[in-house]
């Protein structure tokens, strides 16, 4: 027995025959390829090699599919665009409809208020008309024959001289008057000082019936003590007053605007 029989070997384990053969084959193939390449390179060193690569061509079916896909994509984009435009138009229409509705409600409310105001004004006019005594034919005949004398004649003469002058609220003459300003200026001609405003002038004298008027009597419209207009009766069924900015100082028949009452200060 050898003296090394029991000493473990330090050599690597042997590879199997199949692995060795495989590696040998691979190596041989590589060497063969290199050899062929070298030989070919030597043989063709003076002549370059040109190689053409052919790309696969699209078949008719594939082209049709690509075209169909592109058409479908374009159609989908157009549909999205159309839908977006429809949505925008619908939103705009809804906004405009909301604004129109608000405007219609506003106009309806204004119209309703105007109608209520007109009805109220009509009712007030009807109430004033109901308070005014009706001038009978006899009363008209009685006043039509009256003639101003004395102080009343002076008042009437002054008033007739003011006809045609302007109406200005708060004016007391001599170029313009309001209703109570004209009455006060007329009676001032005969030394009578009247209150400044129509409310007080309507109670400044003795109440008289509209059927028994005399020239120089003060006429008033509205209630005594709260009259809104005054003028002076000048005889023959006529009165003179500063009516409004459009007519100015004017002479009118009693039927033009029948007064509510009258007072006598002369």
pLDDT digits over 82-97, tens only? 888 888 888 888 888 8
Distances (CA, A) of 69 to 60, 75, 82, 83: 14, 10, 20, 21
Q: Work out the average pLDDT over 150-160.
A: 95
Q: Which pLDDT score is estimated for 130?
A: 57
Of 68-77, 136-145, 240-249, where does the model show the most confidence? 240-249
**Domain 136-264 bears CATH identifier 3.90.1720.10:** yes
Q: Which residue ranges make up each domain of the chain? A: 70-131, 136-264
Residue 168 has pLDDT above 60, yes or no: yes
Q: Which pLDDT score is estimated for 235?
A: 96
pLDDT in tens, 65-118: 777 777 778 888 888 888 888 888 888 888 888 888 888 888 888 888 877 777
Look at the alpha carbons of 94, 100, 101, 106 in this order and tell me if their dihedral is positive or negative: positive
pTM confidence score: 0.48
Question: How far from chain centre, in Å, is Cα 36?
Answer: 96
């Amino acid at each position: 027995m050898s003296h090394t029989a029991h000493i473990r070997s330090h050599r690597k384990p042997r590879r199997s025959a199949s692995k060795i053969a495989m590696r040998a084959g691979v190596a041989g193939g590589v060497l063969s390829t290199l050899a062929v390449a070298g030989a070919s390179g030597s043989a063709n060193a003076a002549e370059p090699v040109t190689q053409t690569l052919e790309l696969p061509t699209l078949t008719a079916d594939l082209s049709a599919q690509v075209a169909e896909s592109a058409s479908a994509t374009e159609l989908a984009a157009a549909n999205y665009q159309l839908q977006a435009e429809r949505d925008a138009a619908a939103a705009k229409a809804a906004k405009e409809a909301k604004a129109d509705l608000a405007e219609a409600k506003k106009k309806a409310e204004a119209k309703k208020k105007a109608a209520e105001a007109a009805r109220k004004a009509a009712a007030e006019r009807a109430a004033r008309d109901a308070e005014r005594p009706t001038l009978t034919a006899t009363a008209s005949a009685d006043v039509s024959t009256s003639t101003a004398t004395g102080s009343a004649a002076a008042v009437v003469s002054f008033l007739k001289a003011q006809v045609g002058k302007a109406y200005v609220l708060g004016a007391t003459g001599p170029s313009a008057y309001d209703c109570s300003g004209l009455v006060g200026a007329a009676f001032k001609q005969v030394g009578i000082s009247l209150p400044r405003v129509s409310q007080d002038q309507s109670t400044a004298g003795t109440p008289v019936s509209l059927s028994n008027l005399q020239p120089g009597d003060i006429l008033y419209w509205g209630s005594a003590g709260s009259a809104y207009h005054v003028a002076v009766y000048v005889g023959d069924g006529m009165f003179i007053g500063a009516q409004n900015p459009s007519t100015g100082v004017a002479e009118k028949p009693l039927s033009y605007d029948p007064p509510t009452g009258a007072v006598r200060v002369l």
